[in-house]
Amino acid sequence: MAVTRHPYTTGSGTRGMFLSLREEVEAALREALSALSLPTADLGIEEPPEDVPAVLASSVAFRLAGERGAPPPEVASEIAAEVDVGECAYVTDVSTQGPYLNFTPAEAYYADTLTAAGDAGYGRLPAREESVVVEHTSANPTGPMHVGRARNPIIGDAISRTLDLAGYDVSRHYYVNDAGRQIAVFTWAAETFDEADLPAPERARADYDLVRYYRKGSSFLEDASDTEREAAESEIEAIMQGLEAGDEETHERVGRVVDRMLAGMRFSLDRLPVTFDEFVPETRFMRNGNTETIATRLEEDDRAFLEDGAWQLDLTDYGIEKELVFLRSDGTSLYTTRDLAHHEWKFERFDRAVTVLGEGHMLQASQLQAALSILGNDTDQLTDVLYSHVNLPEGTMSTREGTGVDLDDLLDESIARAREEVEDRLETRIRDDALDDGDVARIAEQVGIGAVRYDIVSKQPSKAITFEWDRALDFEAQSAPYVQYVHARTCGILAEAGLLEEGSDATNDDPLGALDAIPGDERPAGNGSERSDAAIDVEGIDPAVLETPEERALLETIARFPAAIEAAAADLAPHTVATYTREIAEAFNVFYRECPVLEAPEEVREARLALVVAARHTVANALWALGVAAPESM
RNA sequence: GGGCGUGUGGCCUAGCGGAGAGGGCGAGAGGUUCCUAACCUCUAGACCGCGGGUUCGAAUCCCGUCACGCCCGCCA
């Protein structure tokens, strides 16, 4: 019996029909080329343009034309004649179109896709025995999160989710900078200045409260007289020395301020929602002596030298002109020295480490990699994902100077605009499902937050973004609501068919409850028990009745989802998942227009309902990977 | 000055060696007695910054050049 069902399934996930198809095509093509005594190094597998009725194609004939002494189309025919798809479960035919070989999927390709995507966990790849720690955000605890760095948690969280779906064992870390001069200044300022001399906080929250002291301290140091400054500097210096020496009282003083600040900042992150498995304090690596050990080990390297009393590392061997200072002349460590200890700690606990950081840290990051290598680590374990900061039209955003847009303000504004949108549409709404105030609030939250996240995650991190309100908060097509709407539409149909409990995600007054549509930190697991779901019995369904081009195109798009996750995980490129969501949303909308579901004849109706279920799972899980809510109604 | 990154229709963006360069916004024209029109269809608009090169084939690779961004602290 030919095994056509989930041939690559292990554990709870499946790699999907598209990847299976690709492997079959590769094998069949390789075999044909061998039979013709042609090289098989480059098979030229690619996805054909939209109007070509094939799922995969090959352009090998171009490359082999010279060797074969015949024009590419002729070589293509020759190869096609040799290809045997008899053993393939998912390929039914190979044909040529000029120099191209086109592979047509078999009926089982569509049938198995419909079955696989009937699982609520569709898109989850089989578990790998590989742990990854994703470090992201790690913003200095000196003030509220602002938009300039907002790409970090959003990209970092999407990478974490995508790796998770792809089968990795993922941990999310926030590395807390609770050492160093900035924090010493902050602690000194918080203990020194009087609340009465400060402006009112912008919000009643610890981070907005405390940042006033930090800003006050910074401006004081700029404007102070020499004697005032010297007095302040000696206190700041004392804090830094205390931290370096592992002094318990200093650590507590700093900790009080940092912990409060961080607790405040976490409110902003929770709204996205972005959460962490662990907050790793930088001082841990000073207190446990590892930073000191690192410095000692570095001193022993030939590339280390002492200049002006400071220990440095010559990194020209690694193509880095700028030497790395790892011990100041006063014997204290620097950020990178501690980060070295931090990374060795990560390497001991995880197979791989991914760090999401702003482009400004690039030199720093390459110095870190070089030094890690000198210390004998395998730096292939570490990958940096760099993003370009979000700037204002008038310049950069700065916590210290108080220039910039707070993330909270952006989210508030986005939700407010989304709410206006929902209310405007209420009047012309056709669907008879009587949204109540709770629904309006829920939808505004899901759409407002989703739009911000989607806007950021859908772009390549390396591209610069200049922040403009209207552009960031555009709810028109090619934004989160476009995709979210498709999910709501699938749910609408399923609810109408009695396959979904209507409004199941909308029945609470808790403002955070709106976030439940993202199954919290529960992952698409495969049992679908965490949320209302349409149980469809795929057994009695004949997928062959799904024969219109729109149905086929939608199924083909659904079939590619696991491959899209795999590629996004391999490249650490969640924006490609966003591109995918756009494609499936488009395919669904065309299907929706052309193919009535509920009014269709019995057999077609059942099959189309199964297709809607499959589309829903795919869209929901793709949005999950991006950290964008999937509303059941809007 | 050096290093890294980015340059795709008026604006934003995908594609990063192969089939007339996809989308979206904006502009123009249509579509709803029918599962939610936050939707769909059509039209106009691009010598993929510029100049060379490699290749059967370049937006994609290489070299040069220009523009913009970031970095070049005993800061983080």
DSSP-derived 3-state class of residue A130: coil
- Find where tokens 């205390």 sit: A242
Q: Is the CB of A490 under 7 A from strand B?
A: no
A264 contact partners, CB below 8 Å, separation of at least 6: A144, A205, A206, A207, A208, A209, A210
Residue A310 has pLDDT above 80, yes or no: yes
Is residue A342 assigned to a domain? yes
Which of the 8 DSSP states describes residue A435? -
Position A122 in a domain = no
CATH number for the domain harbouring residue A207: 3.40.50.620
The enclosing domain of A77 has a CATH number of 3.30.1360.70
Question: Looking at per-residue confidence, does A512 or A210 come out higher?
Answer: A210
Angle at which helices A437-457 and A480-496 cross, to 10°:
140
User: Are A196 and A286 in the same domain?
Assistant: yes
Residues A360, A220, single domain; the answer is yes
pLDDT value of residue A505: 45
Last residue in a domain, options A347, A367, A391 = A391
pLDDT given for residue A575 in this prediction:
97
Based on the fold, state whether residues A386 and A467 are members of the same structural domain: no
Q: Is strand B less than 7 A from the beta carbon of A73?
A: no
Phi and psi dihedrals of A391, rounded to 5? -110, 160
What pLDDT is attached to residue A400? Answer: 84
What are A165-201's pLDDT values in tens digits? 999 999 999 999 999 889 999 999 999 999 999 999 9
CA A576 from centre of chain: 10
Closest of A413, A422, A415 to residue A440, by C-alpha: A422
Does the pLDDT of residue A11 top 90, yes or no? no
Task: Report pLDDT for A630.
Answer: 96
> In this predicted structure, which of A125-139, A530-544, A573-587 has the lowest mean pLDDT?
A530-544
Q: Which of the residue ranges A5-14, A133-142, A296-305, A379-388 would you say has the lowest mean pLDDT?
A: A5-14
* CA–C1' gap, A631 and B36, in angstroms: 13
Q: Token pair for residue A407? A: 């993330």
In 3D space, the residue among A573, A585, A575, A574 whose CA is nearest the CA of residue A618 turns out to be A585
pLDDT at A432: 78
| A468 lies in the same domain as A615 | yes
Average pLDDT of the segment spanning A325-342: 94
Mean pLDDT of all residues belonging to chain A: 89
Measured CA to CA in angstroms, residue A522 lies from A50, A121, A132, A624, A629 at distances of: 36, 11, 18, 10, 13
Distance, Å, A603 CA → B31 C1': 29
Domain boundary among A84, A105, A126: A105
Q: What is the total count of domains within chain A?
A: 3
**Does the pLDDT value for residue A2 go beyond 60?**
no
Is A473 domain-assigned?
Answer: yes
Q: Domain for residue A371, yes or no?
A: yes
Output the furthest CA–CA distance in chain A (Å, rounded). Answer: 89
> Does residue A523 sit in the same domain as residue A621?
yes
Q: Report if CB A504 to strand B is under 7 Å.
A: no
pLDDT for A534 equals 55
- Give CA–CA dist A420/A412, Å, rounded: 12
pLDDT of A18: 96
Tell me the mean pLDDT in the region A369-377.
96
User: Has residue A7 got a pLDDT over 60?
Assistant: no
Name the pLDDT band for A262 (thresholds 50, 70, 90). very high
Closest residue to B70 measured CA to C1′: A360
What is the pLDDT at residue A280? Answer: 97
CATH number for A505 = 1.10.730.10
Task: Using the predicted structure, report yes or no on whether residue A158 has a pLDDT greater than 90.
Answer: yes
Per the structure, the complete domain to which residue A481 belongs is given by: 459-626
Percent of chain A with pLDDT over 70: 92
Which of helix, strand or coil describes residue A154?
A: helix
Q: How many C-beta atoms surround the C-beta of residue A217 within 10 A? A: 24
- Mean pLDDT, rounded, for A102-119: 95
A9-13, A173-177, A212-216, A293-297: range with lowest mean pLDDT: A9-13
Residue A561 has pLDDT above 60, yes or no: yes
Q: Would the Cβ of A394 be found within 7 angstroms of any atom in strand B?
A: no
**pLDDT tens per residue, range A378-431:** 999 999 999 999 888 777 888 888 788 899 999 999 999 999 999 988 888 888
Lowest mean pLDDT: which of A117-131, A296-310, A517-531? A517-531
Strand B contact with A138 (CB < 7 A): no
| Nucleotide nearest to A487 in CA–C1' terms | B36
Question: From the CA of A359, how many Å to the C1' of B4?
Answer: 9
A522 pLDDT exceeds 90? no
In this structure, the answer to whether residues A231 and A286 fall within a common structural domain is yes
CA angle A485, A491, A494 (to 5 degrees): 145
Q: Does residue A428 approach strand B to less than 7 Å at its CB?
A: yes
**Beta-sheet strands, E only, within A45-197:** 45-46, 56-58, 91-97, 100-105, 131-135, 169-176
Q: Are residues A494 and A602 in the same domain?
A: yes
Mean pLDDT of A294-322: 94
Is residue A118 one of the residues assigned to a domain?
no
List the structure tokens of A598: 């509920």
**Are A101 and A172 within one domain?**
no
Q: Say if residues A264 and A209 touch (Cβ distance below 8 Å).
A: yes
pLDDT at A517 > cutoff 50:
no
- Cα–Cα dist A608/A596, whole Å: 8
Q: Which nucleotide is nearest to A481 (CA to C1')?
A: B38
C-alpha span between A173 and A170 (Å, rounded): 10
On whether the CB atoms of residues A588 and A490 are closer than 8 A, the answer is yes
Domain-located, residue A551: yes
Residues A74 and A199 in one domain: no
The tokens describing A29, both together, are 């093509």
Residue A507 and residue A610 in one domain = yes
The CA–C1' separation of A560 and B16, in angstroms, is: 20
Residue A488: which nucleotide is closest by CA–C1'? Answer: B36
Residue A154 is assigned to a structural domain of this protein: yes
A525 CA vs B10 C1’ separation (Å): 46
Q: Which nucleotide is nearest, taking the CA of residue A63 and each C1'?
A: B56
At residue A532, the pLDDT reads 55
Task: Tell me how many degrees the CA angle A11-A13-A16 measures, rounded to the nearest 5.
Answer: 135
State how far the Cα of A555 lies from the Cα of A614, in Å rounded to an integer: 9
Where among A364, A391, A418 does a domain terminate? A391
- For strand B, which residues in window 273-292 of chain A come within 7 Å by CB? 282
Among residues A403, A392, A356, A575, which one has the least CA distance to residue A472?
A392
List the one residue out of A424, A514, A421, A403 whose CA is nearest residue A473: A421
pLDDT of residue A12 exceeding 80, the answer is no
Listed as ranges, the nucleotides of chain B within 7 A of a protein C-beta are 2-7, 12-16, 18-20, 23-26, 31-32, 34-41, 56-57, 68-76
Distance between first and last Cα of chain A:
46
Distance, Å, A48 CA → B20 C1': 14
What confidence score (pLDDT) does residue A508 get? 30
pLDDT in tens, A220-258: 998 888 899 999 999 999 999 899 888 999 999 999 999
Asked if residue A424 is part of any domain, the answer here is no
DSSP string, A281-300: ETTHHHHTSHHHHHHHHHHT
Q: Tokens for A119, please give them.
A: 């699982």
The answer for residues whose C-beta is within 8 angstroms of residue A626's C-beta and 6 or more apart is: A158, A161, A453, A454, A457, A574, A577, A578, A581
The ipTM, to two decimals, is: 0.96
Q: Which residue has the higher pLDDT, A478 or A408?
A: A408
pLDDT attached to residue A59: 96
**pLDDT of A443-462, one tens digit each?**
999 999 999 999 999 999 99
A178 and A75 together in one domain: no
Question: Quick one: A427 exposed, middle or buried, by C-beta within 10 A (0-12, 13-18, 19+)?
Answer: exposed
Closest nucleotide to residue A444 (Cα to C1')?
B38
Examine the domain organization and report whether A274 and A155 are in the same domain: yes
In this structure, are strands A390-391 and A382-387 parallel, antiparallel, or unpaired?
unpaired
